[in-house]
Structure 1
């Protein structure tokens, strides 16, 4: 469902309710509910009664395709995906040109022409080092992945999400209509500023504070789509497309929340950083990867002591490990380090 708002400085404004988008948001929460306080109980109950085979397949797409965010791009690219019927949306995606499906699912990491060339001559392109191994594995059999994608989403919809949607859909539609009216009764940029505490407006620039800062100039935008979800809170969900479109998301809360619930992964990270030795280890392996023996020598500690600290750091996701011959080397996970401020702010926002 699409509601057209008043244009702003030549930029088209759309308010969109998409059941397909809401279903993907629910799957994002299902695999990692810790930060979504109002949906933790929902996720636990659903996971307990869900067929383990189905959850494993859904979790595969969560892990491999940016926690379902890649698939959300179907909503911005094709209006038909945002129809009131999720099955119609899935059937549309199923009928898409396989190269277009692959381009979206790979998050634009591989240029469209490169995808087309790869699928046209798969054997000759396996040695192409410009395409990541993960992307090659996808492109080696995209039809199989699409069949798996469509099949698991249809099963999830019919067996689980259909009933949830009957409950939340009226509230989502009503709230979206209210937001459109609100946006027309104030300056639109002031309205955008109300959507999330980590959105900052400054001289027709919109700044989004996530694990890094994303800056968008309003004068470059042709269209702003405002989506709505009852699952995505407290995330600041933003989509910035190459065709000068911007996707924002209204966070609709449906239940009373324990606002002081601390996500398990955030608590683990903060606990990992609370020890002086572990901080020294992180600084050391930030400079270059090291093994347990090397770290023990550097800090004049036993290997058993270093191993104990590395186990805590690895469990929190702050370090990664790789085998080199008979030794395991540890290196810092920079992406996880970058996410710490964002995870803290998400806890504050919830």
Structure 2
């Protein structure tokens, strides 16, 4: 859900995870491209990017902009998918392509239509729209919902194709340029959370957000209220392309806040994240671990068996990689698998590649 641009001090006892995501940043950039006049701080970038695109890609972007409220509903879908800790663009696109029709519609309709309702009525568009008329009148435009329901396979195929196209032709290079700054901004946001406390931090995400004893309230033109008993955890995903807009949604008890951040001007100073990166790759064994994780996620024991070293040694290396945001642990049943965050690895390499470039 998209909103255009007094602290309570009330305790907020929810788990808050602050994240960044190449996927979220990419879709946020598409939101900026869809309405350049509303993003004056990105005017030069939007103008040059649109001019560099071929006609087919521009037409596809315009199609999805028109059918998704300037990509706002795709942001909700991405936030929903991100709950599963998708760790790379490749994994995200594969997940998006293989979602069930019910799960896809549940995410793109912002979690407002119950899964059971979708499962029973997804092939009967008129019945589904009539049964949920209030949702499709006030939150999800009926014309948009009808097109998706009537063209599910084609719509999802086009969405996967255009995102894959845009990423490889345009946004991968942008991410390599801003990735390290995003990682640095993440560290700053986590310090702010620690200093301000949960309630104050959430209120500072945007001037329209207010926290009280009953929950989180958002909005002026359109007021949203999320009760405390509805919220199980909170994901704050930072993005440099969303400002001055603000997006928020709650699906399956996970409140996702897309927070706009501004990066400072580039300086000659080396970000501390680069030091952590160099430590994380600074031995043959660490590089071997990364190479194995690039093939597939693995447990500590699997890595130890493959590389014939003690599990305790692998754990030390993985800890350094976690500190540098190069790997992500994901629990599956009784095992913890480590995933390579490939786009982060590429962003650090790009920073180093351009470090000695002549200004």
Instruction: Bin the TM-score by the shorter chain.
Output: 0.5 to 0.7
Shift of 1:183: 0.8
User: Aligned residue for 1:239?
Assistant: 249
Residue 261 of structure 2 corresponds to residue 252 of structure 1 = yes
Shift of 1:247: 1.8
Q: Whole-Å Cα distance in 1 between the matches of residues 213 and 156 of structure 2?
A: 43
Q: Whole-Å Cα distance in 2 between the matches of residues 161 and 100 of structure 1?
A: 27
Give the superposed CA RMSD.
2.5
User: Aligned residue for 2:118?
Assistant: 115
Choose from 141, 149, 153 the match for 1:143: 153
Check conservation: 2:77, 2:110, Cα contact below 8 A. Answer: no
Deviating more after overlay: 166-175 vs 215-224: 215-224
Deviating more after overlay: 43-52 vs 204-213: 204-213
Choose from 218, 231, 236 the match for 1:221: 231
Choose from 167, 172, 177 the match for 2:182: 172
Q: Whole-Å Cα distance in 2 between the matches of residues 173 and 214 of structure 1?
A: 30
Choose from 40, 45, 64 the match for 2:67: 64
Shift of 1:207: 2.6
Q: Which has the higher contact order (CA 8 A, sep 6+)?
A: 2
Choose from 63, 78, 81 the match for 2:81: 78
Q: Whole-Å Cα distance in 2 between the matches of residues 127 and 88 of structure 1?
A: 34
Secondary structure of 2:70's counterpart equals helix
Shift of 1:56: 1.1
Show structure 2 runs of 5+ residues with no match.
Answer: 1-10, 132-141, 266-359
Show structure 1 runs of 5+ residues with no match.
Answer: 1-7, 257-350
> 1:124-180: CA deviations, max 9, x gaps?
x36536165653432233111111110111110000001100011111111112211
Q: Whole-Å Cα distance in 2 between the matches of residues 166 and 206 of structure 1?
A: 35
Q: Whole-Å Cα distance in 2 between the matches of residues 103 and 83 of structure 1?
A: 18
Larger Rg: 1
Q: Whole-Å Cα distance in 2 between the matches of residues 98 and 126 of structure 1?
A: 13
Secondary structure of 2:207's counterpart equals coil
Change (3 A) 1:127 1:224: closer
Check conservation: 1:205, 1:216, Cα contact below 8 A. Answer: yes
User: Aligned residue for 2:29?
Assistant: 26
Change (3 A) 1:187 1:133: closer
Shift of 1:49: 0.9
User: Aligned residue for 1:35?
Assistant: 38
Shift of 1:240: 2.9
User: Aligned residue for 2:53?
Assistant: 50
Q: Whole-Å Cα distance in 1 between the matches of residues 83 and 113 of structure 2?
A: 24
User: Aligned residue for 1:194?
Assistant: 204
